[in-house]
Chain A
C-alpha cells in the first residue's frame, strides 16, 4: 500500500510540472518540420532514420539547459541576456527573433491552407477562422486552461503514429535503419547530405529556448520541482522524435516505395498517401498536419510577443489588460494578422519569406546557443546548478555541430542548394 501511495504522489508530482517541456518539443514538429520529414522519407526511404537518435539527444541537451535556467533563476532567457549582456545585443537578437518567427508563422498558415484544402475548405475561409481562434485562445484564455489545450494538441500527434502503422512499413528494416547509418557512399550524394542537414538543422530553433524557459518561469517551477521538469523535457523530446520517426516511415513505406519523390508541401504527402495506404492514413496525416499548424500558429506569435517585450522591457503577459500592455498585444495581433494576410494576398513571395526566415533562423541560433552556454556556466546565476564538466563537453559539442549544420543548411538554401 505504502509503495502504491508513494507512486501515486510521484505521478501527481510529474503531472504538476508536465507541460512546458512536452509542449515545446512537440511544436518543433510544426508544418515546416512535417514537410522536412515527409520529404526525407519520400526521397530516401529509411535512409534518414538514423538521424532521429542524435537529433533527440541534441534536443534534450539544449532544452534541458533552458528548463534548468528557468527553474533556478526564475527569469526568462531574454531577461537574462538583457541583464548580463546589455540592451544592444538583446535588441538585435529580438529583431532576429521577430523576423524568423514571422516567417514561421507564415509557414504555419501555409500548413493550415494545405491541410484544410484537402478537406475542400477554401483558404479564404480557413485562414481567417483559424487566425481568430488563435488570437482568442491566448487573449481570452488563462494560462492553466491554455496549457491544457496545448497539451491536448500535443497528444493529438499520435495520429501520425497511426498513419505510420497504416502504411504497413517493413518494421525490421526500419528499426535497423534507425540504429545503423547507411554506407558512406550515401553521404557522397549531395542531395542526401543536404537532406540530413535539413532534418538535423531545423531541429533546434531559437524561439523554442525562449518559449520553454518563459513557460517554466510562468508555471512557477522552482529548483525543488526541477527533477520532474527535466523528466518533462526528456519525455517531450522523445515523443516528438518518435512522431517524426513515424512520419518518415509512413512516407518511406509508401511514397518512396512507389517512386513518388517530389513532395512540395506537407499536404502533398497527405494526398499522395491516399491511394497507397488507404483513405484513413491520408485523413490522419492531414488532420495531424492541421493540428500541428494550428498549434504552432497559436504558440509562435504569443512566444514572440513575450520574448520581445521581456527583453526590451515592455509590459507583457496575457493576464494584463490591453491598455496595460499595449505593445505586447499589438505585436501579438500584428504577427497573426500579417502572417494570415501574407498567405491570402495573391502574388506575395511566400517562398522568399520562408527562405529569409530560415536564413535569419540560422544567423540567430549560434548567438542564442552560445549565450545559453555562457549563462548556464555563471556561478553567480546558477549556483550549484551550473553545467558539470561532462555535460559541458556534450553541450558545447552539440552547439558546435548544430551551428555548423545550420550554417551549411542556410548556405545551401541561399545558393539554391539541392532542395
Chain B
C-alpha cells in the first residue's frame, strides 16, 4: 500500500488493452451514492473526446495508467451527474475542516493506493492543505519527478483526513445527488459553526443554512454577527427562514426580524407557527434598547404555593435555554412576581420544601421600559444570574440573562 496524489495522477498517460497510449487522465471522480471515498472512474481525454474509464477496468497504475479494455469501448464522458469531480470540485476550492473548525483551501488530494484481487484501487485519504501539496503542484513538470519526490519528503505534511472534510456545494440539486449533507458540521458547537459560516461567501452561507437541520441552524444563527445574520436570512426563502426563526430563542428572533424590512418581517412571521409568531411579534413591539426588548419570554414560573418537587418537575419539562433555568420565579394568581428561587437552593433543599422558604432576598427586578444601561448596572451590582422584567402592575413579563447583557456590552466595545 502506498499513497498517490491527485496532481500526480492528472495528466498521466493512459494505455488501453492493446498497449497503445490512448489519452491522458483529465479528471478523477467519486460516486458518493456508492462509496464516499473510493474512486469510481477516471475521465480520460482522448483524441475522440473525453471518455469514462471505470477504475474496475484499470489493471495497473504505475508510470502510466493501464486499462484492460480497448479504448474504443470507453463510453463518452457526458453528463457525469452524481459524480464528484475531484479536480474541478476540490482542487483550489474551499472546504470546511470539521476537526480544525475552520475553512481551508485545498492544495491537493491524497489517495491510498492498494491492490485488491490483482487490481489497483484508490481511496481518498484526505486533502492536502499545506506546503507539500502546493510545492508539488508548482514544480510538477518543472523539476524531474524523482528529485521532486525527495524534496517533498522534507516538507511537513498538513493533511485533513477525508472524514473531517465537509464540502460546500451551492447547487441544491447537485447537493442531493452528491449526498452532501452537513452532518459533521452540525455536530460542532453553534458558535464554531457561526465562525465558519462567517468565513464563507454569501452563496455558500446560504447553502449551509439550507442544508443544516432547523434546530442547529437556529442555534448557529443566534451566534452570527447581526450583519451576517441579516444577509443570510435575506438570502433564504421566507419559508425556510421562518422554519429557522421559529426554532430561535424569541428574543434573538425578534432582534433579527427587527433588522429586516417590514415586508420581509411580515412574510416570515406569516409562515411561522401561531404560538411562536405571537411571542416574537409581541417582542417586536418593544424598543431594542429597553429591558423588554432584550428579555426572553421563555422562563419557569410557578404558583406561590409550589414546593421543590414541583420545581424539579417544571425543570424537567422545560424546553428553553439553559441560562433561564438557573432561577425559578414565583407568581400569584394575577401573574404578579412574588419571588425568585435560585436553582442551587432547590438542589440543596430537602424534598417538598415550600419554595417560598427558599427565595432570594431582596427580590431584584426591573421595569420593562428600563433602559439597557439600567439593567446592566443591576447585573453588575448584585452579580445576578437572571433578572425578572415586570410591567407597571408588577406582573412578570420576561427574563434577562447574562448573555443578553454581554451581547449588548460587546456591541458597544
Set A88, A217, A224, A313: member contacting B234, Cβ < 8 A = A224
In the complex, which residues of chain A have a beta carbon less than 8 angstroms from the beta carbon of B92? 82-83, 86-87, 90
> Do A220 and B227 form a contact, CB below 8 Å, given A74-B203, A82-B92, A86-B91?
yes
A73 at the interface (CB under 8 A from B): yes
Q: Is B105 in contact with chain A by the CB < 8 A criterion? A: yes
Q: Which residues from B are CB-within-8-Å of A83?
A: 92-93
Interface check B411, CB cutoff 8 A: no
Q: Give Cα distance in the complex from A88 to B202, angstroms.
A: 27
Query: Residues of A contacting B202 with CB < 8 Å?
Result: 74, 222
Contact with A along B192-223 (1 / 0, CB 8 A): 00000000111110000000000000000000
Alpha-carbon distance between A74 and B201 when the two chains are bound, in angstroms: 5
CB-based contact A313/B105 at 8 Å = yes
Q: Scoring A residues 233 to 248 as 1 if CB is less than 8 Å from chain B, else 0, what string do you get?
A: 0000000000000000
A74 partner residues in chain B, CB cutoff 8 A: 200-204
Contact across chains for A313 and B104 when beta carbons are under 8 A apart: yes
Q: Which of B129, B138, B203, B204 contacts A88 (CB 8 A)?
A: B138
**Which residues of the other chain, B, contact A73 by a CB distance below 8 angstroms?**
201, 203
CB distance from B197 to the nearest CB of A (A): 12
Q: Does B134 sit at the interface, judged by CB under 8 A?
A: yes
Q: Within the complex, what minimum Cβ distance (angstroms) separates A227 from chain B?
A: 16
- Give the residue name and chain of the A residue nearest to B134 (CB): A87
Q: What is the 8 Å Cβ interface bit string for chain B, positions 215-252, against chain A (1 contact, 0 not)? A: 00000000000011001001000000000000000000
Complex Cα distance A91/B105, Å? Answer: 14
B285 to chain A, nearest CB (A): 22
Nearest-Cβ distance from residue A118 to partner chain B, whole angstroms: 40
Per-residue contact bits, chain B 92-113, to A (CB 8 Å; 1 contact, 0 not)? 1100000000101101000000
Contact check, B138 vs A91: say whether CB atoms are below 8 A apart: yes
User: From residue 285 to 324 of chain B, which have CB atoms closer than 8 A to chain A?
Assistant: none
Bound CA–CA A82/B203 (angstroms): 18
Q: Encode contact with B along A209-230: 1 for CB under 8 Å, 0 otherwise.
A: 0000000010010101000000
A331 to chain B, nearest CB (A): 15
Please indicate the chain B residues that have their CB under 8 angstroms from the CB of A315 in the complex.
102
A 127-170 binary contact with B (CB < 8 Å = 1; else 0): 00000000000000000000000000000000000000000000
Q: How far is the CA of A83 from the CA of B228 in the complex (A)?
A: 23
A220 vs B129: C-alpha distance when bound (angstroms): 26
Chain B residue nearest to A83 (CB atoms) is B92
Is A355 among interface residues, defined by CB-CB distance under 8 A?
no
> Total number of A-B contacts with CB less than 8 angstroms?
41
Contacts A73-B201, A220-B228: A82 and B138 contacting too (C-beta < 8 A)?
Answer: no
Cα separation A224 to B105 with both chains bound (whole Å): 28
Closest to B87 in A: A86
Whether B137 contacts A88 by the Cβ 8 Å rule is yes
- CB of A69 to closest CB in B, whole Å: 11
Size range of the chain A interface in the assembly = 10 to 19
Report if A312 contacts B (CB, 8 A): yes
A312 touches B231 (CB 8 A): no
Chain B residues whose C-beta falls within 8 Å of the C-beta of A313 in the assembled complex? 104-105, 107, 129, 134
A88 to B141, CA, bound (A): 12
**Contact indicator B134/A312 (Cβ below 8 Å):** yes
Q: How far is the CA of A367 from the CA of B242 in the complex (A)?
A: 45
Alpha-carbon distance A95/B210, docked complex (angstroms): 39
B155 CB to nearest A CB, Å? 15
Name B140's closest neighbour in chain A (CB-CB): A88
Query: How far, in Å, is A91 (CB) from chain B's closest CB?
Result: 6
**B-contact bits for A56-93, CB 8 A (1 contact / 0 none):** 00000000000000000111000000110011101100
Chain A residues with CB under 8 A of B107? 87, 313
B137 and A87 form a contact (CB under 8 A): yes
Residue among B102, B104, B105, B129 with most chain A CB within 10 A = B105
Q: How far is the CB of A360 from chain B (nearest CB, A)?
A: 19
Across the interface, name the chain B residue whose C-beta is closest to A311.
Answer: B105
Q: Which B residues touch A88, using CB under 8 A?
A: 137-138
Please, which residue of chain B has its CB at the minimum distance from the CB of A142? B413
**Complex-state Cα separation, A220 to B201, whole angstroms:** 10
A10 CB, nearest partner CB in chain B, Å: 15
**Cα separation A228 to B387 with both chains bound (whole Å):** 43
Report the Cα distance A46→B201, complex, angstroms: 47
B-side contacts of A222, CB under 8 Å: 202, 231, 234
In the complex the two chains form, what is the Cα distance from A88 to B138 in whole Å? 6
With A and B bound together, what is the CA distance between A222 and B205 in angstroms? 13
Nearest CB of A to B90, in Å: 11
Neighbouring A residues of B105 by C-beta, 8 Å: 82, 313
Chain B residues in 8 Å Cβ range of A217: 201
User: Closest approach, in angstroms, between the C-beta of B48 and any C-beta of chain A?
Assistant: 26
In Å, the complex CA distance between A119 and B230 comes to 50
**Which chain B residues (128-158) contact chain A, with CB distance < 8 Å?**
129, 134, 137-138
Cβ contact of B138, chosen from A75, A87, A220, A224, cutoff 8 A: A87
**Chain A residues near B227 (CB-CB < 8 A):** 220
Closest A residue to B137 by CB, please name it.
A87
Please give, as numbers and ranges, the residues of chain B lying within 8 Å of A82 by CB-CB distance: 92, 105
A81 → B minimal CB distance (Å):
10
Beta-carbon contacts of A308-325 to B below 8 Å, as 1s and 0s?
000011010000000000
Q: A82-B105, A86-B91, A313-B129 are in contact. Are A75 and B134 (CB under 8 A)?
A: no
A313 to B228, CA, bound (A): 23
Chain B residues contacting A87 (CB-CB under 8 Å) are 91-92, 107, 134, 137-138
In the complex, A220 Cα to B138 Cα: how many Å? Answer: 33
Chain A hits for B228, CB < 8 A: 220
Residues of A within 8 A of B231 (CB): 220, 222
Query: What's the nearest-Cβ distance from chain B to residue A135, in Å?
Result: 23
A316 to chain B, nearest CB (A): 11
Nearest Cβ on chain A to B154's Cβ, whole angstroms:
19
Instruction: Point out the residues of chain B lying under 8 angstroms from A224, CB to CB.
Output: 234
Nearest Cβ on chain B to A89's Cβ, whole angstroms: 10
A412: min CB distance to chain B, Å: 33
Bound-state Cα–Cα, A253 to B297, Å? 72
- Name the residue on A nearest B235 (C-beta): A222
Considering residues A73, A83, A312, A313, which has the most beta carbons from chain B within 10 angstroms of its beta carbon?
A: A313
Q: Which of B76-97 contact A (CB under 8 A)?
A: 91-93
Give the CA-CA distance A222 to B202 in the complex, in Å: 8
The distance from the CB of A124 to the nearest CB of chain B, in whole angstroms, is 38
Map CB proximity to B onto A87-126 as digits: 1 under 8 Å, 0 otherwise.
Answer: 1101100000000000000000000000000000000000
CA distance A274 to B203 in the complex (A): 56
Q: Which residues of A contact B91 (CB under 8 A)?
A: 86-87
A83 to B91, CA, bound (A): 8
- Which A residues lie within 8 Å of B104 (CB)? 313
Given A87-B138, A88-B137, A222-B231: A75 and B93 interface contact (C-beta under 8 Å):
no
Residue among A74, A86, A90, A91 with the most chain B CB within 10 A? A74
- Interface hub of A75, A83, A87 (most chain B Cβ within 10 A): A87
If A73-B201, A86-B137 are given as contacts, then 16 extra A-B residue pairs at C-beta distance below 8 Å, sorted by A number, are A74-B200, A74-B202, A74-B204, A75-B201, A83-B92, A86-B92, A87-B91, A87-B107, A87-B134, A88-B137, A88-B138, A91-B134, A220-B227, A222-B231, A312-B134, A313-B129
Task: Show 8 residue pairs from A and B whose CB-CB distance is below 8 angstroms, ordered by the A residue.
Answer: A73-B201, A74-B203, A83-B92, A220-B227, A224-B234, A313-B105, A313-B107, A313-B134
Pairs A-B, 6 closest by C-beta atoms: A74-B201, A313-B105, A74-B202, A75-B201, A87-B137, A82-B92
